[in-house]
């Protein structure tokens, strides 16, 4: 696949499946792995990095899961192209910004991907729509098995899989969900929820992972420890905890609607009106308005759009996607105009919102 | 006419005629008159007031301009009904709120009206759409002549027509235009314009006349002195000055569009989006959003609505109109919900705004 085709590609994890309430966007399972025969990233030479790439590509081609996958050498991409991959959640900001020989291998539907020469030699990722922790884990596990049949991983009987950073040692599994919690933010309960999760060894982060701020009331919840806990147990625990968070959010949403229906409806429909009419839209404002519209969807107030519509819009309105679509560099101010245009043209495809209303 | 029918009545002055730029809403000519045979308002007894009403009604019936007019006794109306007449610019707040026997006579198209026992025995009013000072003056002059054929006005050869307040002595003519000046407000030139007008003996007031604040960038400009200036001269001067203000506003609008097209378009379309989607709308916010939409109309950015649409909406969304439509008292909070509903249903009648756009 050519990188410019990616903007129009429909990533599977954005399709809104298994997302009954419009609350859990996606679920991601990631494994950290290193090749035993080569020095870990901090000590790897350019030649070592090339070796890693070669071995991984060979192993991938031998299996069937990734044998028709696309491969990009990060060092051959322009900055905007690398950022585009970050916006699609295919690579981490770290892989996009680091130096050296590094690459990305990913399946056509973007559900499976491998970052090569990030913090570890390999970061395997499976990402699926909705709360599908078990399926995501199964998918990344299958990919791991397939590669493991061709390459020797760094592994210790005592510690499990060895990784560049001790926080990933053991299973090397990080499971995370991307979840929309507007009512818990509005009722100022998010801090309490975050505290509770931290106590249970889960972390809460922003939309683009570690070190990023939450935007548009989207949070990433993931397990903290990868050592001494079996994979199935992590899957089970994250699923149970996510179901609890969904229940809390749903309760808070219902209470809001009960206590202040007109104000909630007003917030939702104003956001809809602005998204479908504004001529200038900053990324931040867009995400906040989209959050209000998503809340409307969760509350069944809006029936003319669905999760897939909102999820895809959220990605294609990111700066590098806009730039790629436009075919060249856009000034920040022009970008907000262009974003508004793109959003408007998406909304124009929806059925008239007034039909069937009082 | 029954007062409840008024909410659906299409007042002629709101029809947007003679309003090329969407800037001048309407033009009003008002004459202050008193009957020579009866004490002026401050000294009038209830019997005197009844006499005034009787003589005016008799005189009106003799002529042809007002012989099929509607008559309301203000003291027989409920508070909300009196306020409804204020909202339609048929009576002054003073007439609505004062005590004693007082009334309103008005033509079916609301272009001609007579307030009886306001500050003066008679206040004759002609109100027309757009900048039609000459026609408004001619209309109220004809009404004055017709009544003057049946009743004797208090008049002095030295001073002209005598009035309760010396500021109205002389011709008794007050001519005023209702004008929308969003760009002059935005560029902070309105203070300078007001100062200039004051120096030329014109006053600038809010939407509902003396003592009211401007809302939605609507201003009333009127002549200050009625003494020692001939009526034709007042008409001429106000017309010339209004044309100057229109030119200033138009220049400011064009400059805004030239300097910040995207921001102006954004402001206009956001207002459109909010008016057509909000579920709660205060009167103040509504007027501000309508002002932005009107600016869009002036600038030819919006083609799916016209002055008549905006002018009528501006009146029917006033509190007493909403209450009358609803058939009973509405709490302030409910009123904002009901206003949003009314506005939305009006906007729903418009052609889709996205058609024919880039």
Q: What is the pLDDT at residue A353?
A: 53
Q: What is the pLDDT at residue A167?
A: 82
Contacts of B276 in chain A (CB under 8 A): 273
Rounded-to-integer distance, Cα B152 and Cα A117, Å? 102
For chain A, give the mean pLDDT.
Answer: 91
Pick from B180, B305, B187: which is nearest to B246 by CA? B180
> Could you tell me the maximum CA-CA distance found in chain B, to the nearest angstrom?
69
Residue B112: pLDDT band by 50, 70, 90 thresholds?
very high
Rounded-to-integer distance, Cα B241 and Cα B236, Å? 9
> pLDDT tens-digit profile of B293-306?
999 999 999 988 99
Please say if the pLDDT value at position B252 is more than 50: yes
Cross-chain residue pair A344–B354, CB shorter than 8 Å: yes
Bridge partners (DSSP) of residue A160 are: A156
Q: What is the bridge-based pairing of β-strands A155-156 and A122-129?
A: unpaired
Shortest distance between the Cα of A349 and any Cα of chain B, in A, equals 11
Token duo for residue A301: 């107030």
**Residues B201 and B225 sit within 8 Å (Cβ to Cβ):** yes
Q: What mean pLDDT is predicted for residues B27-54?
A: 94
Q: How many CB pairs under 8 A join A and B?
A: 54
Order of strands, sheet of A103-106, starting from the edge strand that comes earlier in the sequence: A70-73, A103-106, A112-116, A122-129, A24-33, A173-180, A218-223, A202-205
Shortest distance between the Cα of A59 and any Cα of chain B, in A, equals 49
**Residues B343 and B350 sit within 8 Å (Cβ to Cβ):** no
Rounded-to-integer distance, Cα B250 and Cα B265, Å? 16
DSSP state of B220: E
Q: Look-up: residue for tokens 């057509």?
A: B276
**Residues B1 and B70 sit within 8 Å (Cβ to Cβ):** yes
Q: Dihedral sign, CA of A309, A314, A319, A321?
A: negative
Q: What is the pLDDT at residue B236?
A: 95
> pLDDT tens-digit profile of B210-242?
566 678 999 999 998 777 788 999 999 999 999
Domain boundaries, chain B: 3-248, 250-357
CA-CA distances (angstroms) from residue A72 to A57, A86, A90, A101, B136? 11, 13, 11, 11, 76
Residue A109: pLDDT band by 50, 70, 90 thresholds?
very high
Q: What mean pLDDT is predicted for residues A24-49?
A: 94
**Residues A3 and A77 sit within 8 Å (Cβ to Cβ):** yes
CATH number attached to the domain at B3-248: 3.30.590.10
Please say if the pLDDT value at position B278 is more than 70: yes
Query: Between B152 and A166, whose confidence is greater?
Result: B152
Enumerate residues 6+ apart whose C-beta is below 8 A from B123: B30, B31, B32, B33, B92, B114, B115
Q: What is the pLDDT at residue A209?
A: 58
Q: What is the pLDDT at residue B2?
A: 85
Q: What is the pLDDT at residue B61?
A: 92
Contacts of A279 in chain B (CB under 8 A): 262, 265-266, 269-270
Residue B52: pLDDT band by 50, 70, 90 thresholds?
very high
Q: What mean pLDDT is predicted for residues A155-160?
A: 90
**Residues A51 and A38 sit within 8 Å (Cβ to Cβ):** yes
Helix (H, G, I), strand (E, B) or coil at B172: coil
What pTM does this model have? 0.91
Please say if the pLDDT value at position B358 is more than 60: no
Query: Between A214 and B107, whose confidence is greater?
Result: B107
> pLDDT tens-digit profile of B160-173?
899 988 888 888 89
Q: What is the pLDDT at residue A285?
A: 96
Please say if the pLDDT value at position B91 is more than 80: yes
Token duo for residue B159: 């001073």
Backbone angles phi, psi at B323, to 5 degrees: -65, -40
Please say if the pLDDT value at position B353 is more than 90: no
DSSP state of B69: -
Best probe of the B interface among A259, A266, A282, by most B CBs < 10 A, is A266
Residue A212: pLDDT band by 50, 70, 90 thresholds?
low
Residue B355: pLDDT band by 50, 70, 90 thresholds?
very low
Predicted ipTM of the assembly: 0.89
Enumerate residues 6+ apart whose C-beta is below 8 A from B171: B31, B160, B161, B226, B227, B229, B230, B231, B234
Enumerate residues 6+ apart whose C-beta is below 8 A from B203: B197, B221, B222, B223, B224
Best probe of the B interface among A261, A262, A277, by most B CBs < 10 A, is A277
Rounded-to-integer distance, Cα B211 and Cα A70, Å? 72
Please say if the pLDDT value at position B279 is more than 60: yes
**Considering CB atoms only, which of B262, B265, B274 is closest to A273?**
B274
Provide the CA A248 distance to its chain's centre, in angstroms.
Answer: 22
Best probe of the A interface among B273, B285, B295, B304, by most A CBs < 10 A, is B273
**Considering CB atoms only, which of A269, A279, A354 is closest to B269?**
A279
Helix (H, G, I), strand (E, B) or coil at B44: coil
Pick from A129, A93, A96, A123: which is nearest to A110 by CA? A129
DSSP state of A110: S
Please say if the pLDDT value at position A347 is more than 60: yes
Please say if the pLDDT value at position A68 is more than 70: yes
Token duo for residue A243: 């179901």
Task: Name which of A16-20, A232-236, B25-29, B282-286 the model is least confident about.
Answer: A16-20
> pLDDT tens-digit profile of B322-352?
999 888 788 888 999 999 999 999 999 986 6
Enumerate residues 6+ apart whose C-beta is below 8 A from B206: B212, B213, B214, B215, B218, B219, B220
Cross-chain residue pair A280–B262, CB shorter than 8 Å: yes
Contacts of A278 in chain B (CB under 8 A): 266, 269-270, 273
Q: Chain B: residue nearest A280 by CA?
A: B266
Quote the percentage of chain A above a pLDDT of 70: 96
**Residues A231 and A141 sit within 8 Å (Cβ to Cβ):** yes
Q: What is the pLDDT at residue B211?
A: 60
Q: What mean pLDDT is predicted for residues A300-328?
A: 92
Token duo for residue A140: 């990344």
Token duo for residue B199: 């120096």
Quote the percentage of chain A above a pLDDT of 90: 76
Q: What is the pLDDT at residue A261?
A: 96
Please say if the pLDDT value at position A352 is more than 90: no
Contacts of B356 in chain A (CB under 8 A): none
Q: What is the pLDDT at residue A21?
A: 84
Query: Between A213 and B312, whose confidence is greater?
Result: B312
Q: Residue A104, CB half-sphere, CA atoms under 13 Å: how many?
A: 29
């Amino acid at each position: 696949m050519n990188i410019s085709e990616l903007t129009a590609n429909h990533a599977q994890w954005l399709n809104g499946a298994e997302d009954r309430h419009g609350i859990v966007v996606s679920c991601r399972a990631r494994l950290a792995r290193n090749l035993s025969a080569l020095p870990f990233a901090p000590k790897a030479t350019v030649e070592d990095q090339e070796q890693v790439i070669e071995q991984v590509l060979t192993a991938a081609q031998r299996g069937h899961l990734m044998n028709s996958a696309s491969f990009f050498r990060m060092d051959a991409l322009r900055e905007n192209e690398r950022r585009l991959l970050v916006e699609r959640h295919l690579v981490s900001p770290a892989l996009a910004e680091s130096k050296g020989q590094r690459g990305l291998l990913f399946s056509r539907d973007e559900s499976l991907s491998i970052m090569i020469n990030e913090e570890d030699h390999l970061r395997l990722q499976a990402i699926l729509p909705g709360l599908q922790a078990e399926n995501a884990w199964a998918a990344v596990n299958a990919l791991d098995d397939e590669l493991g049949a061709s390459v020797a991983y760094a592994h210790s009987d005592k510690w499990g899989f060895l990784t560049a950073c001790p926080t990933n040692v053991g299973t090397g599994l990080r499971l995370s969900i991307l979840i929309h919690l507007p009512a818990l933010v509005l009722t100022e309960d998010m801090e309490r929820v975050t505290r509770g999760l931290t106590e249970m060894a889960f972390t809460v982060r922003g939309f683009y992972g570690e070190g990023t701020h939450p935007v548009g009331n989207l949070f990433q919840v993931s397990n903290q420890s990868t050592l001494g806990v079996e994979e199935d147990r992590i899957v089970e625990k994250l699923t149970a905890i996510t179901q609890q968070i969904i229940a809390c959010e749903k309760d808070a949403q219902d209470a809001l609607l009960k206590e202040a229906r007109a104000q909630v409806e007003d917030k939702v429909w104003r956001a809809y009106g602005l998204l479908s009419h504004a001529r200038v839209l900053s990324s931040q404002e867009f995400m906040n308005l989209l959050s209000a519209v998503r809340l409307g969807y969760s509350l069944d107030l809006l029936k003319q759009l669905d999760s897939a519509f909102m999820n895809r819009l959220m990605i294609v309105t990111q700066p590098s996607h806009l730039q790629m679509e436009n075919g060249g560099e856009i000034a920040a101010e022009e970008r907000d105009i262009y974003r508004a245009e793109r959003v408007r043209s998406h909304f124009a495809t929806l059925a008239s919102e007034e039909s069937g209303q009082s």
